[in-house]
Amino acid sequence: KVKSQGGGSIAALSPDDHGRLNRKALIEKRLMHALDRNNMQVLYQPQVDILTGRITGAEALVRWRDEEAGIVSPEELIPIAEETGLIHDIGLFVLESVCQQMKDWATRGINLHVSINSSVREFRDKDMASLIQEHLDQNNCRPDQLTVEITEKFALEAEAERSIIRQMMLLQQSGVTFALDDFGTGYASFRYMQLLPISELKIDKQFIQSLSQQEKMPKLVSGMIQFGKSMDFRVIAEGVETNEQFEVLRTLGCDVTQGYLSGHPVEAAELERWLKSAD
Ligand code: C2E
Ligand code: MG
Ligand code: MG
Ligand code: MG
């Protein structure tokens, strides 16, 4: 087994490379049947209004524990799923789970706003506008209860693909909103801000977590919040872990926080208990 290096020379794979490739092959193999085996799950992490302290919504995050591969984190899972196309199955599983959950919550008077994460490949290969609308309809969910989170990488690619923009526009017209996730970490281009129907900005956790460690960070984060506000975006801070971070963000005018301080991602029933105990 060999890999080519820059100048066309060939080097043997290191033990590290072997480990990584074996792990990837195992995940690919196991992933194909993961959904049949019913061992994928959706957890919900609360999003909290910074002024009232109330839970206004939740982000749906996929979890996978496999008998052979063990716990596969989304950071490991999603790139492989994107590459193999299995992201379509995962995306559909999450969409179905979330819509069913919203329907179930509605029967108990809970109308929580839910965000899902989407990969660009889902919008490229599938008609996501129809797929999302069908699922919302089937479960009597209001479209304005759903947010689709996209990354800067997604935005950058979507910008050049008419059919993706069209699907996003259709969804926006029906009431679905879009959030720009991990803001500030990707390919910062401001062009897509006016092209794509984005209405929410999620400041990446790396900025929040170094708020008090790096001198320039409060100014940088303040600038991001001001930018979001001037675009009429709702601004969410990700990865808020301490009261200190929370206070700084409140002072800077951030709208919503999401992070371990207000709660880890949990099962739907647990989130429901949190909602009840806050009443
Ligand atoms: P993301 O969309 O930016 O989600 C936030 C991530 O930050 C989650 O990691 C969450 O558990 C973690 N997090 C939340 N609060 C804190 C905190 O206070 N401190 C720290 N250190 N971390 C916090 P997770 O669940 O491991 O997901 C990682 C990424 O995988 C997500 O980042 C998202 O990009 C992707 N992902 C997760 N579920 C899905 C999915 O269903 N579909 C797609 N396409 N991507 C997904
Ligand atoms: Mg997200
Ligand atoms: Mg994020
Ligand atoms: Mg992320």
Render each residue's pLDDT in the chain as its tens digit; 279 residues: 444 444 455 667 788 887 888 889 999 889 888 877 778 999 999 999 999 999 999 999 999 999 898 999 999 999 999 999 999 999 999 999 999 999 999 999 999 999 999 999 999 999 999 999 999 999 999 999 999 999 999 999 998 899 999 999 999 999 999 999 999 998 767 888 889 999 999 999 999 999 988 889 999 999 999 999 999 999 999 999 999 999 999 999 999 999 999 999 999 999 999 999 887
Which residue is closest in CA terms to ligand 1's atom 7?
239
- Distance of alpha carbon 171 from the chain centroid: 17
Tell me the CA–centroid distance for residue 151 and ligand 2, in Å.
Answer: 8
β pairing state of 256-258 and 40-49: antiparallel
What integer pLDDT is reported at residue 188 of this predicted model? 67
Strands (E), the chain: 2-4, 10-12, 40-49, 55-66, 70-72, 113-117, 146-150, 177-183, 200-203, 234-238, 256-258
Distances (CA, A) of 249 to 51, 203, 215, 243: 11, 11, 15, 10
- Is the confidence metric ipTM above 0.95 for this complex? yes
β pairing state of 2-4 and 10-12: antiparallel
Which residue is closest in CA terms to ligand 1's atom 11?
265
What integer pLDDT is reported at residue 36 of this predicted model? 77
What integer pLDDT is reported at residue 113 of this predicted model? 97
Nearest atom within ligand 1 for CA of residue 61: 38
Q: Tell me how crowded residue 109 is: count the other CB atoms within 10 A of its CB.
A: 6
Entry pTM: 0.93
Q: What is the DSSP letter of 116?
A: E
Q: Residue 188 is encoded by which pair of tokens?
A: 């910062």
